[in-house]
Amino acid sequence: MEPFIAKDRTIIPNLDMPQTKGIKRILERTAPLDEIGAYHLGSEIFEGNTVPQVVGLVREYTKKPIIYDALPHQIDDDREAERIVKYLRNEGIQAVTIFPLAGRDVMERWIQKSRDYGLEVIIGGHPSTYSSWEGSYLGREGIRRLYADACLLGATHFIVPATQPTFKPIIENIQERLLHNGQEPVFFSADYFEESKSGMENIHTEEREGAYIPGKRFHTIIGSALHTPLNIQKAASELYSLIANHKG
């Protein structure tokens, strides 16, 4: 499958809020921007909203890809996994993010079922909120093995920390495995930017210390930095320029 986001580098607003008014505000201001590659649907958006309602709302403003956080659905039953994947694809979702901590079998099932229905899978193994390997039950070797297995199973899209130098060997291993097969890995991160608040409308966002671009294709998922600024278009353009001009 070709990357579902055409541009090499973009920012992805995380629509992780239950209020329809706030979602509409972000969509109407960001949908026309070339800097936006897709929209990510977090769990909070479904507090009172269904998948068809949310997809319909996004489609009022844009045809850009929609990414669904499938973490709550990582179950072991083949038929249930297929039902969920088919449902998401039929409702207009283009990609799902999963953290297959239940093991290789679950990851293989999601990758295969998603591929059958033309849905892209973005594999994560180390949540960006963890500041060290000790934050994860898997540990360094388990996380390395998870991403290695994902490559062997045909995954090409990955969520990785973009601020942890100790994670670079894993990223380099992903790159080596895919490039050897003539494939370009696509990386996503939710920790590239650091936000500091001083009042609801004054959010200062900058690259985190040690932030780096994992590869040629890189997309950063952004939350409150695009939820509250008065000038969302300006904020989006400034955030995009930081990753577009970053040399690595």
pTM of the model: 0.88
Q: How far apart are CA 194 and CA 211, in angstroms?
A: 10
Q: So what's the pLDDT on residue 137?
A: 58
Question: Taking 90 as the threshold, does the pLDDT of residue 213 lie above it?
Answer: no
35 in any annotated domain: yes
1 in any annotated domain: no
Taking alpha carbons only, the member of 204, 245, 238, 239 closest to residue 220 is: 239
The pLDDT tens digits of the residues spanning 170-179 come to 999 999 999 9
203 in any annotated domain: yes
93 in any annotated domain: yes
Secondary structure class of 174 (helix, strand, coil) = helix
Query: How sure is the predictor about 125, in pLDDT bands with cuts at 50, 70 and 90?
Result: confident
DSSP 179-228: HHTT---EEEES-SEEEEESSTT-EEEEEPTT----SSEEEEEE-GGGTS
2 in any annotated domain: no
Q: So what's the pLDDT on residue 183?
A: 92
The pLDDT tens digits of the residues spanning 150-207 come to 999 999 999 998 777 788 889 999 999 999 888 999 999 887 775 544 333 444 445 5
26 in any annotated domain: yes
88 in any annotated domain: yes
Q: So what's the pLDDT on residue 127?
A: 57
Q: What range defines the domain where residue 30 resides?
A: 9-244
136 in any annotated domain: yes
CATH, residue 142: 3.20.20.70
Structural domains of the chain, count: 1
Contact criterion met (CB below 8 Å) for 145 and 161:
no
